[in-house]
Each structure stands twice: as C-alpha cells, then as structure tokens.
Amino acid sequence: MSVNGAASTIANPNRSTEVVKPPSDSVSSLSFSPKANVFVATSWDNQVGCWEVQKSGNELSTVHMGSMSHDKPVLCSAWKEDGTTVFSGGCDKQVKMWPLASGGQPVTVAVHDAPVKEVSWIQEMNLLVTGSWDKTLSNGTKRVLGLNSSMTKILRMIEERNAAALFSLYWDLRQQSPTWVQQLPDRCYALAVQHPLMVVGTADRNIIVFDLQKPQTEYKRIVSPLQHQTRCLAAFPDKQGFLVGSIGGRVGVHHFDKPQTDKTFTFKCHRQGSVVYSVNSLNFHPTHHTFATTGSDGSFSFWDKDNKTRLKEMARCNQPVTCSSFNHDGSIFGYSVCYDWSKGAEKYDPATAKTNIYLHQPLEVDVKPRLPLARGRRFDAGRYCALPEKMTGRPSFPEAVTTKCWDLRQQNPTSVQRLPDCCYALAVQHPLVVVGTADRNIIVFNLQSPQAEYNRFLSPLQHQTRCLAAFPDKQGFLVGSIEGKRHHTFASAGSDGVFNFWDKDAKRKLTNMLRCNQPISCSSFNCDGSIYAYAVCYDWSKQGGRKIIIPQQQRPRYTSISPGKTMSHPVFQQVVESSDAS
C-alpha cells in the first residue's frame, strides 16, 4: 500500500523517463521554459533546480544544469518569455530572479510580509505579479532586503485601510517598489494569467478576475463552483474562462460569457471508490488546448473540456502527483511524484516516500480533441466517436505497441506504425486495414499509403474491443466487444456459449442456435461459407474442458448463409477431442 492510500506499489508504472538528481524533498512547482526543453522545479528542501531535456529519437535523457537556494522552502516558479530568466518565491517571503542565460547570481526582486505562494511574469506589461499569504501587514520596522522607504509607505497605507488586508503586487524590475498593490479578500492560493486575463483563487473560495488593462479594479468576483478549498487554476488559452481544481476531487469549467453558460460545468476526478483526493495541478496543452490534471491519488489524466471527454487516464503511481507542466510544444509532460503531506507526518515513510520527477511523451491521440458522435448513431469514414471511457488503471507500454508490414523476402519490416495502445484485433480487406487497440481506439489504414493513418476514432461500444471484421465491399467494418453487444456483425460468438447469424442491413438476427456448455472463444467461415467452425473451451472464468466443434450443414439445403433467410437447417456436429486447442 502506498503512502497516499492508492493501490499501486509501482513508482513509475507509465514507464516515463526519470529525471536525474531529483530534489531531496517534495516538489512544489514545475515549470518548462517557453523556448527550449529546459525546466525548473522548486521544492521543500529550499532549492530551485534546473534540468535540460535531451532527445535522441524517441528516447529522453536529462542533464542537471545547477540549482540555487532560498532561506526556506520554495513554493512557486515562473519563466520570462525569452527563456533566459527564472523567478521563484517561497516561505522566506522573497521573490528571487535567477538569470540562467547569463550565468549571473540570483537576486531578490520582490518581498512580501508572508510566504509567496504564486508568481507569474506578464510579457505584455513587462511586469512580475506575485500572490502571498499576507494576513497582517508589516508596520515597517522589520528590515527586509529590498524594502525601501517608498515600499514602507505603501504597506503602512494599506494597513491603515484594512489591518487584515491581503494583497497581490505588480513589480517593475527596474524599480524597488511595487507598481500596484491589489487587496484580496483572503490568502492567495492559486493564480493564472493569460493577458489581459488574470484569475486569482483565495482561501475563502473566492475567485477574483482582473482585466490587466485596468489592474487597479476587479473585473469580476465569484464564489468557486466547487464546495471545497481551491487548489489550482488555469486560464483558457482563448481567455474566455478558466478551470478551477479543489481538494475535493473536482474540476470546474467556467465560461465568462452568458451565451456560454451551458458549457459551464463541474466533474469528478482523482477518486478511488469513496476516497476523494486533491486535484493538484491543471495544465493546458500549448497546441491542442486540451488539458491535464494531476492528483494526490497518484494519477494524471488528459481531458477535452469542449466535448466533456476524458482522453486518457494514466496508471497510478505509488505516491501523489504534486505538480506538472507541458513543454513549449506539448511533446513532453513533466510531473513530480512525491509525498504531499496530506496524510500528516505519521504517514511519512522515508523508505517509500522518495521524490521523483518524470517526463512523459503523450501520444497525439491522448491530447488531441475528438469530435463527438451521439451514442447509438452509425459511424462512417471521416467521423469520430467520443464516448466516456471506463479506465482500468492498466499500465500502457507505448514503446511496444506497433503494427508492422513485412516483405517475406526481407528480414526487416517495410513499415512500422505506432499504435496508441496494445493491438487487440485486426481485419484486412485490401486496401483497407482496421486495427482495434486496448483503449477502445479503432485505427483505419489505407495500404496504398500505409505510413499514415487514414482515420482514427473511439469504438461505439462502451467496453473493450474483442474482434473486428472488414466489409467485403471495403466500405466499413464490424466491431464486437466483451460487453456482449454487437454492431454490424455477420456471425458472432460469445462467452455465453452461443453463436448466431445476423443481417446487418436488415438489423435482425437470422438464427437462434443452442447454447453450449462452455464459452465459444473464436470462430471462422471456410472459403465458400458452407462451414462455420468454432471453438468451445475453458475461458479461465469457470472450470471445464476444451473441445473444438465443427458443424457441417446438410447439403444441398444451403451452400451459404444469405441475408433475409431463416436458418432452420439441421446441424450435425463432429466433436474432435483436443488437449491443446484454445
């Protein structure tokens, strides 16, 4: 059992790349450079570390570039838009600037009177914004590096207006005093910026929206749609709303415009049965504008807010995922796995609570939006199906899931196509190839251009794909699942021990065959359709033996099975005992 109560005991079940020289204590923030594959991580060991990510084909490796220190634990980090400078803030009440590109020494550029929880650089204004836990303001007698007489006057003025005021500050790095001081109703817990939009979440579940073109006044103030404490925020890339995550295992999707209110909703996530875990971070994909969530249940997932769909849920780690970030092009998703202290010191086990940072390369299908198709409608080429997935927490092995084309005169495959998950079914009617994978994706290939996918969508069936068959006219395919429902099938056999013949065009069953005493695991027609063979054997859910049964139709009653005819012919069964049949 893991320290956070999750069932997984595997530290890296998704086989992500492990970052070298991770922090010695829990990671509080993770930020990628907006220009390069370089990231920084802040941690509770008072350190800000920097790593460079190197790519070699599909393999990733990391190099530790250095670190700098605060006097107390570090809580947040942000980059300048040119990727040359890093800002960090923490429990020492200071914000430091680290000029990485020039190799200069860190300097203090901003101060608060309480720990600094959030920091963000606003490129369009050339300003730094900081959010703090200030609850009472300094009277000016305490000397702090960078606190000059003008700043002391500002703090005293705020204190006179409201002794319990909280604030966020805007800093021009060319000056020692803040450009603006903005009062907040309570401690700042989260902050997100997409100029001119800025969203701030406070301890009392208030969410304050600012228009940075008029930063001195609030644009809007709302109470969080979530019932529990705000944990994280993310502004929409189109600046029309925001996401909010809470410690109650929920995410809220909020649109500002009234015509979009029907798209405002909340959903549950990061839960195991009745146990609810905190949502720790929210990150939008820089290209596709889908988003990722991480939680204290040890998992991370990718979501499509516009279609209200979970795109992919990854396997659970053995500790909470505390923070995360996409790189500049969305090809790398970094996340930290460590103890988050939500269970207290008594649940901390140094033997298992190791801090790690991992780099995951998401497949495009896992982060790309999918066009929805209503349940029960027929699907065709050029359409996508996006139905709710029932995830099992099974690890995926992206480096092993491929489909290959072979020329038997050569030793190497002529083409290799990477799949989103393990191949479970395949059907071919040249030039049509249909592949069904473990995550319910169905990928269609045109063998005249086998290097590229022709189409990809989700199975219209809710459960795992079990079998596929391509139409003889190559205009579509059939798919069957483990749930016992068939869609466009001609002959079907199931674990209930029954096989049937169907007319897909008339949408009706042609025969009702008798039930066998064991499951039917697989089946096939002969070349002219006069013989239908099927295997009756133990499927490892019940006890039983194994038999292969080959029914032979009485000739010349029918030589093939035709749609629209009732199959009432007698069946003679030849039972062949086999000890190794499956």
DSSP states along 178-210: EEEEEEESS-EEEEEEETTEEEEEETTSEEEEE
> Which residue type, as a one-letter code, is found at position 547?
K
Please tell me the predicted confidence (pLDDT) of residue 238: 93
d(CA 368, CA 230): 27
pLDDT in tens, 341-361: 888 888 888 888 899 999 999
pLDDT in tens, 288-299: 999 999 999 999
Residue 372 pLDDT exceeds 90: no
CA-wise closest residue to 6 among 376, 322, 389, 272: 272
Contact 266, 254 (CB under 8 A): no
Please tell me the predicted confidence (pLDDT) of residue 481: 83
Residue 467 pLDDT exceeds 80: yes
Residue with the two structure tokens 């592949």: 435
> Which residue type, as a one-letter code, is found at position 76?
C
* pLDDT tier at 145, thresholds 50, 70, 90: very low
Please tell me the predicted confidence (pLDDT) of residue 371: 62
Q: Per the confidence metrics, is the pTM higher than 0.75?
A: no
d(CA 377, CA 383): 11
Please tell me the predicted confidence (pLDDT) of residue 566: 32
Residue 106 pLDDT exceeds 60: yes
Contact 116, 129 (CB under 8 A): no
d(CA 91, CA 358): 25
pLDDT cut 90: percent of the chain above it: 41
d(CA 11, CA 104): 36
Please tell me the predicted confidence (pLDDT) of residue 186: 87
Please tell me the predicted confidence (pLDDT) of residue 239: 93
Measured from the Cβ of residue 414, the count of other Cβ atoms closer than 10 Å reads 11
Take residue 21 and report the two structure tokens written for it: 């020289």
What Rg, from alpha-carbon coordinates, does the chain have? 30
d(CA 439, CA 310): 12
Residue 97 pLDDT exceeds 90: yes
CA angle 538, 544, 546 (to 5 degrees): 55
Residue 301 pLDDT exceeds 90: yes
* pLDDT tier at 240, thresholds 50, 70, 90: very high
Contact 406, 421 (CB under 8 A): no
d(CA 476, CA 504): 12
Q: Which run of H or E residues covers position 540?
A: none
Q: Which run of H or E residues covers position 2?
A: none
Measured from the Cβ of residue 408, the count of other Cβ atoms closer than 10 Å reads 5
d(CA 34, CA 121): 12
d(CA 67, CA 324): 19
Residue 7 pLDDT exceeds 60: no
Please tell me the predicted confidence (pLDDT) of residue 170: 53
What integer is the mean pLDDT of 51-61?
Answer: 94
pLDDT in tens, 254-289: 998 866 667 899 999 999 989 999 999 999 999 999
Q: How many residues does the chain have?
A: 582
CA-wise closest residue to 553 among 580, 524, 532: 532
- 147: CB partners within 8 A, 6+ apart: 111, 138
Please tell me the predicted confidence (pLDDT) of residue 183: 80
Which has the higher per-residue pLDDT, 286 or 457? 286
d(CA 489, CA 164): 69
Q: Where do the H-state alpha helices sit in 414-475?
A: none
Residue 546 pLDDT exceeds 60: no
Residue 557 pLDDT exceeds 70: no
* pLDDT tier at 10, thresholds 50, 70, 90: confident
* pLDDT tier at 316, thresholds 50, 70, 90: very high
Contact 223, 180 (CB under 8 A): no
Q: How far is CA 186 from the centre of its chain?
A: 31
Please tell me the predicted confidence (pLDDT) of residue 258: 67
Please tell me the predicted confidence (pLDDT) of residue 382: 31
Residue 563 pLDDT exceeds 70: no
* pLDDT tier at 489, thresholds 50, 70, 90: very low
Residue 324 pLDDT exceeds 80: yes
Q: What is the mean pLDDT of the chain?
A: 78
pLDDT in tens, 495-528: 888 888 877 776 778 777 888 888 888 888 887 6
What integer is the mean pLDDT of 470-497?
Answer: 76
- 491: CB partners within 8 A, 6+ apart: 499, 500, 501, 502, 523, 525, 532, 561
Contact 549, 513 (CB under 8 A): no
What integer is the mean pLDDT of 464-491?
Answer: 76
Q: Which CA distances in Å does 483 have to 392, 458, 460, 466?
A: 15, 16, 12, 9
d(CA 316, CA 395): 8
Q: Is 149 exposed, middle or buried (0-12, 13-18, 19+ CB in 10 A)?
A: exposed
CA-wise closest residue to 551 among 524, 525, 533, 528: 533
93-107, 425-439, 454-468, range with the lowest pLDDT: 454-468
Q: Which long-range contacts (CB under 8 A, 24 or more apart) does 362-366 make?
A: 362/302, 362/312, 362/330, 362/331, 362/333, 363/312, 363/398, 363/418, 363/420, 365/311, 365/312, 365/420, 365/441, 365/456, 366/302, 366/311, 366/312, 366/420
d(CA 536, CA 494): 10
Which has the higher per-residue pLDDT, 125 or 406? 125
d(CA 355, CA 299): 15
Please tell me the predicted confidence (pLDDT) of residue 421: 79
Q: Which CA distances in Å does 411 have to 25, 91, 400?
A: 50, 61, 19
